[in-house]
Chain A
Amino acid sequence: SQQGEEDPQALSIQEGENATMNCSYKTSINNLQWYRQNSGRGLVHLILIRSNEREKHSGRLRVTLDTSKKSSSLLITASRAADTASYFCATVRPGGSEKLVFGKGTKLTVNP
């Protein structure tokens, strides 16, 4: 079964606004990753946060992780039309498991 569950399923904002997407997962993790998928394309890795980290930044991206609540959030600041895409969280479990398990994604639309 799928590990992550993104919220909301769809999000529409204006250019320049911030976009926040949430991910909840069911079991303990080794790390959590966020990916972007433009329409009709493959996925692109954005950022990885380890279970012992609480916050991570990469350019306009900010990811937080709360292992006590089994949740993560992805914040995109000052969004652009080019940020329009689907965003997925994915988790790797501890204990030697090599599986990367995805949620169903959030579809973000940034209107010019």
Chain B
Amino acid sequence: NAGVTQTPKFQVLKTGQSMTLQCAQDMNHEYMSWYRQDPGMGLRLIHYSVGAGITDQGEVPNGYNVSRSTTEDFPLRLLSAAPSQTSVYFCASTRDRESGYTFGSGTRLTVV
């Protein structure tokens, strides 16, 4: 099925560990974004990309890195996990800025 695929669905990390959250879409969308969702905070934009090789920071980029080597993939790297990064992470993509985004089902991350 066409859509946005996020892996893993659940992850527990120890403080200081690093990991990569994977995001892939098969709709040939140029625009991709990463959000985190915390209770009472809505969704906050971490990083976004408008095409392969082009990324930019969102509202809360500290502690996260991204790269976009292909149109399909947009991985999010946590460099040194902290308890404050415990959250649900969503990846989303869209064809252009005049269209709605398609969201993945999320990754629930707990940092202990």
Contacts and interface: CB of A to CB of B under 8 A. Distances in A.
Contacts of A90: 43
Contacts of A61: none
B44 interface: yes
Interface in A71-112: 88, 90, 92, 98-105
B35 interface: yes
Contact of B98 (A41, A45, A48, A104): A48
A103 B42 contact: yes
B101 A45 contact: yes
Interface residues of B, number: 28
Contacts of B45: 99-102
Given A2-B42, A98-B31, A103-B42, A92 B102 contact: no
A42 B58 contact: no
B59 A101 contact: yes
Interface in A39-83: 41-48, 50
Contacts, number: 66
Contacts of B35: 102
Interface in B1-49: 4, 31, 33, 35, 40-45, 48
B76 interface: no
Q: Which of B41, B56, B90, B100 has the most CB of A within 10 A?
A: B100
Assign chain A's interface to a size class. 20 to 34
A24 interface: no
Nearest to A46: B100
A45 B35 CA distance: 15
Interface string B77-102: 00000000000001010100111111
Contacts of A99: 33, 45, 48, 58
Nearest to A45: B100
Interface string B35-72: 10000111111001010000010110000000000000
Interface of A: 1-2, 30-31, 33, 35, 41-48, 50, 88, 90, 92, 98-105
Given A42-B90, A43-B90, 8 more contacts: A33-B100, A41-B105, A47-B100, A48-B99, A88-B43, A98-B97, A100-B45, A102-B43
